[in-house]
Amino acid sequence: MKKTIARKYTSKNKTFEVDYDFYPRGGGGLFSSAHDLIRYGLFHLKTPLKDQKSILTNETLDFTHKADNPDLPNYHRYNLGWGIVNDGQNLSLISDGRIGGANSMLLLLPEQKIAVACISNMTGGITMMTAIQIVDMLIPGYMKNIMNFIEPMGAVENLRVPFKVEPKLEGEWQGEIKTYQGKIPITMTFADDASVTAKIGNQPVAQVMDLNFVDQPDTVVNHIKFFYRILTGTINSTIPTPDAGKGEHTISLKLRYVNGNLVGSGTAIGEGFALPSFIKLSRKR
């Protein structure tokens, strides 16, 4: 088995110490070739090869391709592992995944009977863009249309504002990060010069970077709902649990101001995984 598996690389082109195992194990994963993946795509397009035996009826396949909640914005429609995007021109079914040192993409266009499978032995998003570019060669204009839905970043950038410490945030906040192994103390300090620091457990004090906080009601822009009164940022610290601590990672904060507390998540973001933990902080009086 080990001899037939491609060596895995990080997004920085470094090899993984153990290149034949899944990491993180809780994130799932299975061994596959592009050939295996495209056969799976053909099955979902109801065009199986002669040696394939259908284990699901066409009606069941149709059900798996329908949004679980059609009232959700287009880019949030999802059902049984498939992201469902209708860009007004084409219906696309998207199934992608990532683990440390590998990622994959299966892109289906049921109406055109097109299936594109891409796999990579490196952490990163190259497979999604490669698949989209392949379809764009078959259907000119496809990439421009679909990217308006799966990456609505223009609206996000237009709404970002320079970070400043609101009066309600000033001072020291103390709380805990709750993990499956127990609680880890966390302290955050908001200075009036807009700098924010955090100390997690016995780790050194770290600067909180990429801060954003907009103190206004939730709103909808270009069919995208923005949840405000949420503090976001990145800490160059770690969450010291075995599953998160195996590789290098940073902590992505999403904390909402609720009844005088900051409540939300601190997510360990590493090579091919994102492991969230619950956080609650209260302002020190």
Top-tier CATH class for 2-151: alpha beta
The domain limits of the chain are 2-151, 171-283
Give the per-residue pLDDT at 178.
94
Rounded to an integer, the average pLDDT of 214-234 is 59
Q: pLDDT digits over 197-220, tens only? A: 999 999 999 988 887 776 555 545
| Average pLDDT of the chain, as a whole number | 80
Backbone dihedral angles phi then psi of residue 187, each to the nearest 5 degrees: -125, 130
d(CA 240, CA 179): 9
Confidence of residue 221 (pLDDT cuts 50, 70, 90): very low
Q: Give me the pLDDT at residue 257, please.
A: 85
Percent of the chain with pLDDT over 90: 27
Among residues 115, 135, 125, 137, the alpha carbon closest in space to that of 36 is found at 115
Does the pLDDT of residue 55 top 80, yes or no?
A: yes
User: Can you tell me whether residue 140 is helix, strand or coil?
Assistant: coil
CATH class as words, domain 171-283: mainly beta
Distance between CA atoms of 110 and 113, rounded to whole angstroms? 5
Higher local confidence (pLDDT), 124 or 131? 131
Average pLDDT estimate for 154-166: 58
Can you give the pLDDT at residue 96? Answer: 83
Residue 144: its H or E element? helix 142-150
The 8-class DSSP code of residue 247 comes to S
pLDDT over 50 (residue 189): yes
Contact between residue 261 and residue 173 where contact means Cβ atoms under 8 Å apart: no
Of the pLDDT bands very low, low, confident and very high (cuts 50, 70, 90), residue 225 is very low
pLDDT at position 27: 56
3-state helix, strand, coil in the chain (%, to 5): 20, 40, 40
Q: What is the mean pLDDT of residues 231-257?
A: 81
CA angle 241, 24, 81 (to 5 degrees): 125
Q: What is the pTM of this model?
A: 0.64
Q: Among 20-24, 71-75, 129-133, 222-226, whose mean pLDDT is lowest?
A: 222-226
- pLDDT recorded at residue 224: 45
Distance CA 101, CA 19 (A): 8
Looking at per-residue confidence, does 18 or 281 come out higher? 281
Q: What is the DSSP string of 52-105?
A: ----S-HHHHHHHTS-S-TTS-GGG-EETTEEEEE-SS-EEEEEEEEETTEEEE
- Cβ neighbours for 268, distance < 8 A, ≥ 6 positions apart: 238, 239, 244, 249, 250, 251, 274, 275, 276, 277
Tell me the percentage of the chain whose pLDDT exceeds 70: 77
Pick the most confident of 32-41, 74-83, 153-162, 239-248. Answer: 32-41
**Residue 183 to residues 74, 133, 203, 215, 251: CA-CA distances in angstroms?**
38, 45, 15, 29, 16
Q: Does position 243 have pLDDT exceeding 80, yes or no?
A: no
DSSP 90-106: -EEEEEEEEETTEEEEE
